Structure 1
Amino acid sequence: MAAVHESVLDAIGGTPLIRLARLGAGLAAPVYAKAEFLNIGGSVKDRAALSMILAAERDGLLRPGGTIVEATSGNTGIGLAIVGRRRGYRVIAGVADKSAPEKADILRAYGAEVVLAPTGVAQEDPRHLFNVVQRLAEEIPGAWLANQYDNLANPDAHVRTTGPELWEQTGGRLTHFVAGVGTGGTITGTGGYLKEVSGGRVTVVGADPESSTYGGGDGSPWYVESIGHFLHPETVEDRWPQAYQQEVVDSFERVPDRESLLTARRLAREEGILAGPSSGTAVAAALRVARGLGPDDLVVVLLPDSGRSYLSKVHSDAWMRQWGFLEEEGAEGLRPLLEAAGPLVSVPAGATVAEAVRALGAAPYGVAPVVLERPDWPYGVSPAEVVGTADGAALAAGLADGSVKPDDRVGAVAGPPLPGAGVGCSPEEARERLRDGARAVLVLVDGKVAGVVAP
């Protein structure tokens, strides 16, 4: 018989385990998915939201008539909106501007006020999402900043609920737990509990975007929302969440975006599980782990949220093609033009005009993207790090008439960034994106700038 609850708050948690029989076919170790997308708000963050609000009430930080403020990629804000509005609070969610638009719509549907702010700037920048919500919390009387990244009631939710559920559901047979790391609360609380109850027998594996600093990347941008740790090149002091305890994680599986996104799509099409892109990261990591295990092992992977929040992104063929993650077999794309154009030439924003002109001598069509400076580019150049376009003809004209000096920084005199088109787009689609006099497009492969072509 189905459970009967007095309110939606009582329905948080108690999510099922589902065996990934098709994706795990041929593996000796079974792989089970913890279906956190079946929480009332559609994500694992419902657990943390309830825990943080109850703790704030107990500690006198949140009083009747108060306001809950939080920075979120969407899911924690949704959980806070459900719990907070149900308990009579005003809720303001600062949402990352790159989050799927569905999340902001869901927040508003639950009665939260949404403030959009960037995360793709240095942490010290006053426009940064965390700084925006901090100011709101200071300015609004009776406001409480949930601060999921440093709030220890976040991992505690999983010590009390998620971990015990998994241990009971697997009859204590669980040997490996795989989850993404965002705030770190889920993997810290759940993994810590499982290690303790098993006497250290359970191995905890973090599933991380390839360039995230958690797993050893350089912090450059990626396309999977809600997990990983981004590091802007201009950030002075990199701060990791207090909710994350590094010692709980035994190892990391670093998963490229394409593998994450395509695995999320396979989950829907082969297992009937419509989950978000971070679930794709976690499942890809879990399958890697399971390949090295035997029949006495049991792998559990946590699926954080529903794919209904990403219908305009990972579950959209058009979006996947636009960002270079999807090439349809037999369709005319940009790959032949890309291969004919040759290697990408980019110019650091801090280079001088004279240096840029020399570099442009090897650039196809005499134009090159101007990019933020990093020591190297092991994960490719993200469009988010393209700040302009160096045009050889325009720079030569400026040098001739004196409007540009040889020692000027090219980032200060560059034109606007070229439009982008995924490698799977047709030349006709790419031509439609030409604007503002641009005669070429940036071709994206797996979300990274791979070259410049004139379609």
Structure 2
Amino acid sequence: MAAVHESVLDAIGGTPLFRLTRLGAGIAAPIYAKAEFLNIGGSVKDRAALSMVLAAERDGLLKPGGTIIEATSGNTGIGLAIVGRQRGYRVIAGVSDKSSAEKADILRAYGAEVVLAPTAVPAEDPRHLFNVVQRLTEEIPGAWLANQYDNLANPDAHVRSTGPEIWEQTGGRVTHFVAGVGTGGTITGTGRYLKEASAGAVTVVGADPESSSYGGGDGSPWFVESIGHYLHPDTVEDRWPQALSSEVIDFYERIPDRESLLTARRLSREEGLLAGPSSGAAVAAALRVARGLGPDDLVVVVLPDSGRSYLSKVHSDTWMREWGFLEEGDATLRALLDTAGPLVAVDADATVGEAVEVLRTAPGGLAPAVLKRAARPYGVSATEVVGSVSREVLAAALADGSAKPGDPLGALLGTALPTVGVGQPPAEARAALADGRPGVLVLVDGRVAGLLAREVLL
């Protein structure tokens, strides 16, 4: 008989495990997915939201008529909107401008007020999402900032619920636990409980985007929402969340975006589990881990949220092609890209003279201007391209004296070149040349892999 609840808040938690029989075919160790998208708000963050609100009420931080404020990629805000509105609070969600549009729409549907702000700026920038919500908290009487990244009621929710559920559901047989790492609350709380329950026998694995600095990447942007740790090149102090206890995690599996996104699509098409891209990353990591295990092992992986929040992204063939994650058929830009030669990029904070020197090897004397990083082992993220540089423009400025070799390049930057995915047909790349654009940037897995000049395409 189905359960009867007095409130939707009573339905948070108690999510089922599903064995991944198709994705796990041929692997000796069974893999079970914890379907957290079946929580009432559609994500694992419902657990943390309820825990944080109850703790704030208990500690006198949140009082009747108060306002809940949070910086969120979407899911924690949705959980707080449900919990907060049920308990009579105003809810304001500061949402990253990189989050899917569906999440902001869902927040508004639950009665939250949405404020969009960037995260791809230095942490000290007043426009940064965390600084925006901090200002709102200071300005609004009776406001409480949930602060999921540093709020210990976040991991505590999983010590009290998620961990015990998995232990009971597997009859204590779980040997490996895999989860993505965003705030660190889910993996810290659940992992801590499972390690204690198993006397340290359970191995805890963090699924991390390849460029995230948690697992050792350079902190440059990636395309899987809600997990990983981004580091802007100009950030002065790199702070990790207090909700994350690194000692709980035995090791990280660093998953490229394409592997994460395609695995998420396989989950829906082969297992009937419509989950988001961070679920794809976690399952990709779980598959890697399970391939090295035997039949006496048992892997549990968390599916944090629903794919319904990403229908315009990972579950859209058009979006996947435009960002270079899908390559199907022969009529693509791959052949042109393979003959284009290596990508030449100019740091946006270079001098005019330095840019001229770099452009000597750039096809057509044209290059993207990008945010500076010490190294780019994964290529240039499309989200870090801030403009374009033309040898012709620089030469003219030097010739007429309006610029000197030692001057900053910034004033002479052109607009960013249009981007096309490697899986798009050449006709769509030519269409992007409208208004006399001198070339296009070709994306492979969301990163700029090459530049095709106008004369090459035409």
- Could you tell me the TM-score, scaled by structure 2's length? 0.98
Q: 2:336 — aligned with what?
A: 337
TM-superposition CA deviations, 1:97-156 (whole Å, max 9, x none): 000000000000000000000000010100000000000001000000000000000000
Cα deviation, residue 355, structure 1: 2.1
**Helix, strand or coil at the partner of 1:69:** strand
Cα deviation, residue 22, structure 1: 0.1
Q: 2:407 — aligned with what?
A: 408
- In the alignment, the residues of structure 2 paired with residue 382 and residue 409 of structure 1 have an alpha-carbon distance, to the nearest angstrom, of 23
- In the alignment, the residues of structure 1 paired with residue 228 and residue 287 of structure 2 have an alpha-carbon distance, to the nearest angstrom, of 19
- In the alignment, the residues of structure 2 paired with residue 4 and residue 433 of structure 1 have an alpha-carbon distance, to the nearest angstrom, of 55
- Could you tell me the TM-score, scaled by structure 1's length? 0.99
Cα deviation, residue 437, structure 1: 3.2
Q: 1:102 — aligned with what?
A: 102
- In the alignment, the residues of structure 1 paired with residue 94 and residue 354 of structure 2 have an alpha-carbon distance, to the nearest angstrom, of 41
Q: 1:288 — aligned with what?
A: 288
Asked if the contact 1:388–1:411 (Cα under 8 Å) also holds between the matched residues in 2, the reply is no
Gaps of 5+ in 1: none
Asked if the contact 2:282–2:303 (Cα under 8 Å) also holds between the matched residues in 1, the reply is yes
Q: 2:69 — aligned with what?
A: 69
Cα deviation, residue 321, structure 1: 0.3
- In the alignment, the residues of structure 1 paired with residue 107 and residue 350 of structure 2 have an alpha-carbon distance, to the nearest angstrom, of 43
Cα deviation, residue 358, structure 1: 2.2
**Helix, strand or coil at the partner of 2:436:** coil
Q: 1:240 — aligned with what?
A: 240
Q: 2:115 — aligned with what?
A: 115
Tell me if 1:46 matches 2:82. Answer: no
Q: 2:428 — aligned with what?
A: 429
**Helix, strand or coil at the partner of 2:263:** helix
Q: 1:86 — aligned with what?
A: 86
- In the alignment, the residues of structure 1 paired with residue 323 and residue 163 of structure 2 have an alpha-carbon distance, to the nearest angstrom, of 37
Equivalences for 1:310-325 in 2 at 5 Å?
310-325=310-325
Asked if the contact 2:33–2:301 (Cα under 8 Å) also holds between the matched residues in 1, the reply is yes
Runs of 4+ off more than 4 Å? none
Q: 2:392 — aligned with what?
A: 393
Q: 1:364 — aligned with what?
A: 363
**Helix, strand or coil at the partner of 1:341:** coil
TM-superposition CA deviations, 1:297-355 (whole Å, max 9, x none): 0000000000000000000000000000001123x111111122211011112222122
Q: Which amino acid aligns with 1:333?
A: T
Please give the root-mean-square deviation of Cα atoms over the aligned residues, in Å.
0.9
TM-superposition CA deviations, 1:222-276 (whole Å, max 9, x none): 0000000000000000000000000000010000000000000000111011000
- In the alignment, the residues of structure 1 paired with residue 349 and residue 74 of structure 2 have an alpha-carbon distance, to the nearest angstrom, of 35
Q: 2:278 — aligned with what?
A: 278
Asked if the contact 1:52–1:153 (Cα under 8 Å) also holds between the matched residues in 2, the reply is yes
Asked if the contact 2:393–2:412 (Cα under 8 Å) also holds between the matched residues in 1, the reply is no
Gaps of 5+ in 2: none
Q: 2:166 — aligned with what?
A: 166
Q: 1:250 — aligned with what?
A: 250
Cα deviation, residue 434, structure 1: 2.6
Q: Which amino acid aligns with 1:320?
A: M
**Helix, strand or coil at the partner of 2:177:** strand
Cα deviation, residue 436, structure 1: 5.0
- In the alignment, the residues of structure 2 paired with residue 312 and residue 29 of structure 1 have an alpha-carbon distance, to the nearest angstrom, of 34
Farther off after superposition, 428-437 or 210-219: 428-437
- In the alignment, the residues of structure 2 paired with residue 131 and residue 434 of structure 1 have an alpha-carbon distance, to the nearest angstrom, of 38
Q: 1:262 — aligned with what?
A: 262
Q: 2:300 — aligned with what?
A: 300
Cα deviation, residue 365, structure 1: 1.7
- In the alignment, the residues of structure 1 paired with residue 359 and residue 435 of structure 2 have an alpha-carbon distance, to the nearest angstrom, of 21
